Chain A
C-alpha cells in the first residue's frame, strides 16, 4: 500500500523541553493507525505539528502528505487538504442544532444566506453514514456524549476528509458506545478513509488498529504491525519503558465490620420531577473493603454517589445512610464530611480542584478547621499538612506552592485524594479515580487505594473501566437504569457476568 502520510525526523522544542525528538511516523493509505503513549509523551504535540497548529518552521523535520511536501501554516491549511482532528474535548456548540454544528464555519449559503433545505438534506445523508437517526434540527446538548462524538465525525465527513484523527475518542464513552464508534471507524476504513486514533485503551487499539506506533518521552519507540498479532503487554512495556507484568497491585483481602450502609435510597431528577433516577438502592461497605459499582453511563452511579454526599444532586431524596449501625445526617456536604464521608468527584478539573490555586490551598480546602484556630489560619501548619501528603502520595512537584493547574492529570488526582484524606474519612467514594491518567500513574493510584483499605478505610469505587473494577474490588455491585441489578464477589465477577446482568434487565 502507498503511504498517505510520512512525518520524518520531527523535532519540536519548547523553552527547556524537547517535546518531540526526531519522531518518524508512517501512515499507509486506508489503514487505521493507532498512536499510544503515556500522558505527556508527545502524542498531542505530534498531532498539532501535523495539523498546522504549530506552523511550518516552528519545528524541524518534514511532513510528506498525499504525494507532496506539506507545509501547513494554520489549521485551515491542513483541513483544506482533508486532514481533520477530532479532539478529546468536543468542539460542538451545545445550543445549536446538529445540522448547524456540522456546517459551522462551512455553511451551505448563497451570498451569506443559509440554505436550510440543503443543509438539512446534507446533514441527513451524513448522519446516515455515521449511523445516527436523530433529526438534523435536534439541539446538540439534548443528545448524549456518545452521539455528540458521532456528530463530530459527521462534521469531519462533511469536509471530504482523507485523514481523520481521533484524539482519545472513547475517553468519555461507555463500553457499548465505544464499540459503536470503533465499528464506525472500521466502516469508514472500508470506505477508504484513513484514520489515526490516539488512545489509552489498549483493548480498543487491538480491536481497530492495523499499525501501532508507540511514543515515549517524545520519541517513537516502536511500530507494531497488527497482522503479526498485537499484545497489550508489549504495548504497555513500550509505553512505560519497563515491564508492567502487573497492572493492578496485589492486595490482601480482609473485610471487617460493615462501616457504611445505605438503605432504601430513592432520588428523583432535579429538573424532571417525574423521573426517578435512583430506585430503592441498598448497599453496604465494610472496613478494609473496596466495593465497586459497575454500570453503563447514565445508569445513575454518579447521581447515587452525589445524592448520598450532601444531597449534591437530585431532589425528593429518601432513604437512610448509617455509619457503624447509627443513622447519620448527610443532608449537607459539610455534614456528610463531618460524619466521615469523602467523595472524590469524577471530573477533577471542574468539580474537584481550584486550578488557579496552589497544592497547599487545595489540600486543606475541605478541612480548614484542621489548620486553623478560632477561624484564623495557621499557614505553617497548612504547609506541613500539604508536605505530608505530597510525600505520602509521591506527588511530583517542586513545591506545594505550585498551582495545581500546572500539574499532570495523575498528580492532580493525587492532590484531590490528599484533600479528602486530610478530612480523615471512614468511607471514601471514588468516582472514576483513574479517568484520563496514564498507565504508570494509574498503578500509583491503585496502590494508594490499597493502602487506604489496608488502614481499614471503606472504599467505594465507581468506574467505567471494567478491568479496573475486576482488578481492584472485593465485591462489585452492578447498576442499571438507577437500580442495583446484581452483586458479585471478586471470585464470581467477570466482564461477561457484569455485562449479562446489565443486559438481562
Chain B
C-alpha cells in the first residue's frame, strides 16, 4: 500500500519536473547551448579557445556587440527594430577621431560629446517612430544609409588615427590590481602563470556569491506566495554550472592581465539593464507596450514617450559601442560597423526575444551574443573561411528561432 502511494507521488514529482523543464526549455537550452559550443570549440581548437589571452580577447571582441544588444533588446521588446546601429557605431567612431585628431578636443569632452550625439541620433529616429507611427524598420533603414554615408563624408574616405593612449584605455586598458605584488606572487606560482590578478578573482567570487544569494532570496519569496518556482535540484545544478563557469573564466582572466576596462563597463551595464527591465516600473511598461500597445495605452502608459526613449537609449549605447570599437582598432575607418547591426539583432533573437515584441530578457541577449562570439572566435582559430562562418552563423540563428517556435507550439 505505502509503496504504491510513494510510487505515484514519485511519478507526480517526475511529471512536475518534466512539465517545468518543458516550460523553461528555452532558458536551459540557451545555457546548455553556450556550454556545449564552448566545450566543442575547446576540443577542436586543441585548448586554444580557453587560453587566458583568448578568453580576454573574446570579451574585448564582443564587448561592442553586447553593449548594443542591451539597447536592441529593449527596442525589440517594445515591438520595434533598429537597423541603424552598425552605421551609428561607425559614425560615432569617425566623429570621435575627427574631434580628437583633427580638432584636438580632450578625451573626456569627446566621449561626452559623442554620447550626446548618439542620444540625438536615437531621438531623431525615435521621433518618427514614436510620434508619427512610421515603421521602425523603414526609419532605421534610412538611418543606416544616412549614417553610413555620414561617416564616409566625415572621414573623407580615409582612415583617421591613431588615438591618444587615454582614449585607447576605454577598450584595451586593464584595471590595475589593488592587491600588492607580494601577495599575489604566491598565487601566480600556484596558478602556474607569470602573474595573478587577485582583484579579478575577487570580483568573480563576489559575483558568484551574489548570484546564488539573489537566487535564494527570490526562491524564498516565491515560496512564501506559493508560486511554483524552479525545482530545488534544478536550481542548484544551474547555479553550480553558472558559478563554476564564472569562476573558471575569472581565474583565466586573472592569470592574464586582469579585468579589462571594457569588461567592467559591460558588466555594470548588464546589471543595470537587467535590473531596469525586470524590476522597475519603466521596464514593466516597455514589456506591456510590446505585448499589446493599445491595451498599454488604455492603461495610462505613455506609449509614444516610451518608444522614443527606447530609441534614445539605443543611440547612446550605439555611441558607446562606437567609442569602444574605435579605441580597440585605434583608428576610425569608413567601414567600421558594417553589417554589425545584424550580429546585434541575431544575438537578441538567439537569446529568445520575439519579433512581435513583449518578450525577451537581457541575460538571454547577452548569452546570445556570447554564442555568436564564441562561434566567430572558435571558427577563426580553426581557420574556417569567412564564407562558411557566415553560413553556419545563419543556420544557428534559424535553428534557435525554430527551437523557440517549436517549444511554444508544444506548450500549446
Contacts and interface: CB of A to CB of B under 8 A. Distances in A.
Interface of A: 309-310, 312, 332-334, 336-337, 343, 345, 350-357, 361, 365-366, 368-369, 372, 375-377, 379-380, 383, 387, 399, 401, 419
Given A372-B281, A377-B281, A357 B300 contact: no
Interface string B277-307: 0011110110110011011111111100000
B411 to A, nearest CB: 10
Contact of B291 (A357, A368, A379): A357
Interface stretch (B95-103, B161-169, B221-229): B221-229
Nearest to A309: B298
A377 B280 contact: yes
B358 A356 contact: yes
A351 B298 contact: yes
B300 A351 contact: no
29 contacts: A309-B298, A312-B298, A333-B297, A333-B301, A336-B300, A350-B295, A351-B295, A351-B298, A352-B295, A353-B292, A354-B287, A354-B292, A354-B358, A355-B291, A357-B291, A357-B358, A361-B284, A366-B299, A368-B281, A375-B280, A376-B281, A377-B279, A379-B221, A379-B279, A380-B224, A383-B225, A383-B227, A399-B227, A401-B228
A354 B298 contact: no
B56 interface: no
A356 B359 contact: yes
Given A354-B291, A365-B288, 20 more contacts: A310-B300, A333-B299, A333-B300, A333-B301, A334-B302, A345-B295, A352-B295, A354-B296, A356-B358, A356-B359, A357-B287, A361-B284, A365-B284, A365-B301, A369-B281, A372-B281, A375-B281, A377-B279, A380-B224, A399-B227
A126 to B, nearest CB: 35
B299 A365 contact: yes
A366 B221 contact: no
A356 B291 contact: yes
B298 A365 contact: no
A345 B294 CA distance: 11
Contacts of A376: 279-281
A399 B222 CA distance: 12
Given A368-B281, A383-B227, A354 B300 contact: no
A399 B228 contact: yes
B227 A401 contact: yes
Nearest to A348: B295
Interface of B: 221, 224-228, 279-282, 284-285, 287-288, 291-292, 294-302, 358-359
Contacts of A353: 292, 295
B305 to A, nearest CB: 11
Contacts of A387: 225
B298 A368 contact: no
B288 A351 contact: no
B281 A337 contact: no
B288 to A, nearest CB: 6
A352 B299 CA distance: 8
The 5 nearest A-B residue pairs measured at CB: A354-B291, A334-B300, A366-B299, A337-B300, A333-B300
B291 to A, nearest CB: 4
A355 B296 CA distance: 12
Contact of A366 (B224, B279, B280, B300): B300
A368 B227 contact: no
A363 B227 CA distance: 16
Contacts of B296: 354, 365
Contacts of B295: 345, 350-354
B243 to A, nearest CB: 24
Contacts of B281: 368-369, 372, 375-377
B292 A343 contact: no
A380 B221 contact: yes
B393 to A, nearest CB: 29
Contacts of A350: 292, 294-295
Contacts of B291: 354-357
B224 to A, nearest CB: 8
A185 B300 CA distance: 44
Contact of B284 (A334, A337, A352, A368): A368
B353 to A, nearest CB: 13
Contacts of A312: 297-298
Contacts of B359: 356
A351 B299 CA distance: 9
A332 B300 CA distance: 8
A309 B291 CA distance: 22
Nearest to A338: B300
A399 B225 CA distance: 10
B170 to A, nearest CB: 30
B395 to A, nearest CB: 28
Contacts of B301: 333-334, 365
